[in-house]
Chains A and B, each alone.
Chain A
Amino acid sequence: MAKVKITVNGKELEVEAGKNLVDAAEENGFEIPHYCYHPGLSIAGQCRMCYVEQEGNPKLQVACNMKCSDGLKVKTDTPKVTDAVKWSLEFHLINHPIDCPICDQAGECGLQEYYMKHGKYKSEMHEEKELKPKVVDIGDQVVLDKERCILCSRCVRFTQEISKTSELGIFSRGDRSVIGTVNDSPLTGNYQTNVVDICPVGALTSKDFRFEQRVWFLDETQSICSGCSKGCNVDVHHKKGKHIYRLKPRYNEQVNSYWMCDKGRVTYKDSNFDRRLSNAKLGGVDLPHAEAIAAWAADLKVLIATERTEEIGVWITPHQTNEELVSIFETFATQLKTNKFYSESVETLVQKDEAVDGFLLRSDPYPNSRGFLKTSKEKKIKLQSIEDLIKALEKETISHLVIICPEGERQFPHMSRISQMVKPSQFVVILTPQNAAIEMFPSALSLPTLSHYEKAGTMINHAEISQSLEAGFQMFKESRSIQQTMKDLLEAQAKRAESRERMAN
């Protein structure tokens, strides 16, 4: 892109030609207030908040409709501009109920922010506020409050341009204008909650997050959605790492832009405290992590002493990060010398992978299938199918099965099949963040691991883009990352070998 020179408030800036002035100013530290402008949507010029003074133009101009061209000179801080912004805001607040105490948007609301920065501090309106319907149910994800709406039309443009469902529209005229759907029909599709994210006020709020928590209590951690192979960038909103409340899409031009699907938004529930395994368990009884590792090492010791390490079977899925997979392969293939690795046919998943609804959601349910294939190829691991595992369990060629469990729905079909085939003589170790799989293997040794949104590492998405997850919190003290578990296991193993040598001498 060609660079052009523009001047904002007397400061000369070099920006890309044709870039939107609001974005260009923001990148260089000049804030231009705006409601209706969203970089992912078309331009409406409806809110009249982004007024700037352009040199050589007697009237104020809206910055959202200005493209950067050479020699453009604007001012954002003249008295004329601040006055116009102040009055625009007053117009927005004429019929706004100002019910911030009960509004979920409070704390991240455009009206609150600009009122404090540019607002008038005393309303000059004598008229009564126009009353409109408040808790309007539109669809299974979104609640609409018609009073709070400032008619910026971001949501209308979203359904027209991005989700292409064209459900929302502005009805009636003047101060009775409202956002709504035709005949009050509900919103449909997999991208409804995006209208909640782009709503600059609290008119559209999420049902899942409704009244759950005030936003100023929430901490943010960057992560990657675990829902499918798209790997949408997300911010995990949690309170002190104890409770995850919601996921919000994070801008990434190459992957998900500003959007995210509704299916992906609920994946945080699998990482939340109520579905988690909090303690290591052996046959349903809690025990400390170190003791659980010792019990595992003791069983491995027997296999090593009798040179039967090829009886170790490992079930893995592409839900793990590349780093976790490397540590698993190194521990079991290099150190313990087994070649029995089982997984579902990831290659078929990758080959058949396609965008299900033509936008973000993809058919491959694992976030790291490409990374899984790449890592196993690098480590020269030959992967066998679920059928092979069932056969091996039947013939009892496996006496020690390690299951690295994925999260959520995708664990169930395979896990229940395996659990039916496991015989009491076979020792089963499950590494899982969730408690769902534990119930299927009542006598197994289970070790709690970090859940998807607590992990650090990299994952490779469907377009071969390697993305990183950031470890921000740990919900349970007893849970360990898979790398740490593998390290602990090898250490316990070495200790046992050492004491055996000492006893032999």
Chain B
Amino acid sequence: MATLESKSYVIGIFKGLMITGGHFIKNLLGITKRPTIMYPEQKRKYSQKFMGTHVLTKKHNGEIACTSCMLCATACPAECIHIVAAESPNPQVEKYPAIYEIDLLRCVFCGYCEDACPVDAVRMGRDYEMAELAERNFVVGIDFLMNRPSLQGKNISVFHEPKKITKSA
């Protein structure tokens, strides 16, 4: 049974617009707390546990800490890590990665690589802005993972060298 109210839809529209308009004014005046932010200018603060683009740590002499054991590639459920091991030019180091590539499009950012790494050479970084134009740019190598501008001066890419076990007294 159609009532007068449902027949003349103007009242219904007006009621709906009242709700929309009410929110508009509230948000405009800042009466309620807005969940949106003015993104590129304003940035959200993420948790320290956030898992973004990977970081390869480096030793104090600037060398890569990775020993190329491929445990990260073994643990990786997305099979996005590609490593080619080689004999290191440094005689103190036996094995190092000649190529270490992560396909960020394949990566699911689960952090298993970080967990699997026995020498703390790969960590999940805090970077989340990774838009690119070409697909190939998402396959990132050692240079990007270790030396990208966003890591400069940050603690995250510093490898903590293990203390040498000395004879106890």
Q: For residues 120 through 154 of chain A, which have their beta carbon under 8 Å from a beta carbon of chain B?
A: 126-128, 134-135
Bound state CA distance, A127 and B166, in angstroms? Answer: 8
Bound state CA distance, A211 and B97, in angstroms? Answer: 10
- B167:A102 contact, CB within 8 angstroms: no
- A102:B67 contact, CB within 8 angstroms: yes
- B167:A214 contact, CB within 8 angstroms: no
**A101 sits at the interface (CB 8 A):** yes
- B167:A128 contact, CB within 8 angstroms: yes
Closest Cβ–Cβ distance, residue B7 to chain A (whole Å) = 68
- A101:B168 contact, CB within 8 angstroms: no
- A211:B68 contact, CB within 8 angstroms: yes
- B167:A127 contact, CB within 8 angstroms: yes
- B94:A102 contact, CB within 8 angstroms: yes
**B12 sits at the interface (CB 8 A):** no
Specify which chain A residues have a CB less than 8 angstroms from the CB of B168 in the assembled complex. 126
- B67:A101 contact, CB within 8 angstroms: yes
Bound state CA distance, A258 and B166, in angstroms? Answer: 44
Bound state CA distance, A99 and B95, in angstroms? Answer: 11
- A214:B166 contact, CB within 8 angstroms: no
- B69:A102 contact, CB within 8 angstroms: yes
Q: What is the chain B residue whose CB lies nearest that of A211? A: B85
- B94:A134 contact, CB within 8 angstroms: yes
Contact of B74 among A100, A102, A135, A216 (CB under 8 A): A216
Bound state CA distance, A99 and B94, in angstroms? Answer: 10
- B166:A102 contact, CB within 8 angstroms: no
Q: What is the chain B residue whose CB lies nearest that of A212? A: B85
Specify which chain B residues have a CB less than 8 angstroms from the CB of A216 in the assembled complex. 74
Contact of B69 among A101, A127, A134, A212 (CB under 8 A): A101
Bound state CA distance, A211 and B166, in angstroms? Answer: 31
Specify which chain B residues have a CB less than 8 angstroms from the CB of A128 in the assembled complex. 165-167
**With A211-B68, A211-B85, A214-B70 as contacts: A102 and B95 at CB distance below 8 Å:** yes
**B87 sits at the interface (CB 8 A):** yes
Per-residue 0/1 for A201-222: is the Cβ within 8 Å of any B Cβ (1 yes, 0 no)?
0000000001110101100000
Q: How many residues of B contact A (CB 8 A)?
A: 17
Closest Cβ–Cβ distance, residue A241 to chain B (whole Å) = 16
**B77 sits at the interface (CB 8 A):** no
Q: What is the chain A residue whose CB lies nearest that of B84? A: A211
- A102:B68 contact, CB within 8 angstroms: yes
Closest Cβ–Cβ distance, residue B165 to chain A (whole Å) = 7
Per-residue 0/1 for A93-127: is the Cβ within 8 Å of any B Cβ (1 yes, 0 no)?
00000011110001000000000000000000011
**B18 sits at the interface (CB 8 A):** no
Specify which chain A residues have a CB less than 8 angstroms from the CB of B25 in the assembled complex. none
Bound state CA distance, A217 and B74, in angstroms? Answer: 8
**B86 sits at the interface (CB 8 A):** yes
Specify which chain A residues have a CB less than 8 angstroms from the CB of B165 in the assembled complex. 128
Specify which chain B residues have a CB less than 8 angstroms from the CB of A217 in the assembled complex. 70, 74
Q: Which of B69, B74, B86, B167 lies at the interface centre, i.e. has the most chain A CB atoms within 10 A of its CB?
A: B69
Q: What is the chain B residue whose CB lies nearest that of A126? A: B168
Q: What is the chain A residue whose CB lies nearest that of B91? A: A135
Bound state CA distance, A135 and B94, in angstroms? Answer: 8
**B110 sits at the interface (CB 8 A):** no
**B118 sits at the interface (CB 8 A):** yes
Q: For residues 68 through 105 of chain B, which have their beta carbon under 8 Å from a beta carbon of chain A?
A: 68-71, 74, 85-87, 94-95
Specify which chain B residues have a CB less than 8 angstroms from the CB of A99 in the assembled complex. 94
**B119 sits at the interface (CB 8 A):** yes
Bound state CA distance, A489 and B47, in angstroms? Answer: 66
Bound state CA distance, A102 and B168, in angstroms? Answer: 28
Specify which chain B residues have a CB less than 8 angstroms from the CB of A210 in the assembled complex. 87
Specify which chain A residues have a CB less than 8 angstroms from the CB of B71 in the assembled complex. 101
Q: What is the chain A residue whose CB lies nearest that of B166? A: A128
Bound state CA distance, A127 and B67, in angstroms? Answer: 26
Bound state CA distance, A217 and B81, in angstroms? Answer: 14
Specify which chain A residues have a CB less than 8 angstroms from the CB of B87 in the assembled complex. 210-211
Closest Cβ–Cβ distance, residue A284 to chain B (whole Å) = 29
Bound state CA distance, A100 and B168, in angstroms? Answer: 25
Bound state CA distance, A135 and B92, in angstroms? Answer: 10
Closest Cβ–Cβ distance, residue A115 to chain B (whole Å) = 15
Bound state CA distance, A99 and B119, in angstroms? Answer: 11
**With A102-B67, A211-B68, A214-B70 as contacts: A126 and B167 at CB distance below 8 Å:** yes
Bound state CA distance, A490 and B127, in angstroms? Answer: 61
Q: For residues 150 through 169 of chain B, which have their beta carbon under 8 Å from a beta carbon of chain A?
A: 165-168
Q: Which of B68, B70, B166 lies at the interface centre, i.e. has the most chain A CB atoms within 10 A of its CB?
A: B70
Q: For residues 209 through 241 of chain A, which have their beta carbon under 8 Å from a beta carbon of chain B?
A: 210-212, 214, 216-217
Bound state CA distance, A83 and B166, in angstroms? Answer: 28
Per-residue 0/1 for A5-33: is the Cβ within 8 Å of any B Cβ (1 yes, 0 no)?
00000000000000000000000000000
Q: What is the chain A residue whose CB lies nearest that of B70? A: A214
Specify which chain B residues have a CB less than 8 angstroms from the CB of A127 in the assembled complex. 167
Q: What is the chain B residue whose CB lies nearest that of A135? A: B94
Closest Cβ–Cβ distance, residue B67 to chain A (whole Å) = 5
Bound state CA distance, A217 and B75, in angstroms? Answer: 12
Bound state CA distance, A128 and B166, in angstroms? Answer: 7
Bound state CA distance, A207 and B166, in angstroms? Answer: 34
Known pairs A128-B166, A135-B94, A211-B87 / 18 extra A-B pairs, C-beta < 8 Å: A99-B94, A101-B67, A101-B118, A102-B94, A102-B95, A106-B69, A126-B167, A126-B168, A127-B167, A128-B165, A128-B167, A134-B94, A211-B68, A211-B86, A211-B95, A214-B69, A214-B74, A217-B74
Offer 28 A-B interface pairs, CB within 8 angstroms, sorted by A.
Answer: A99-B94, A100-B69, A101-B67, A101-B119, A102-B67, A102-B69, A102-B94, A102-B95, A106-B69, A126-B167, A126-B168, A127-B167, A128-B165, A128-B167, A134-B94, A135-B94, A210-B87, A211-B68, A211-B85, A211-B86, A211-B87, A211-B95, A212-B85, A214-B69, A214-B70, A214-B74, A216-B74, A217-B74
Residues of B within 8 A of A (CB): 67-71, 74, 85-87, 94-95, 118-119, 165-168
| A-B interface, 7 closest residue pairs, ranked by CB to CB distance from nearest | A101-B69, A211-B85, A102-B95, A214-B70, A101-B67, A102-B67, A102-B94
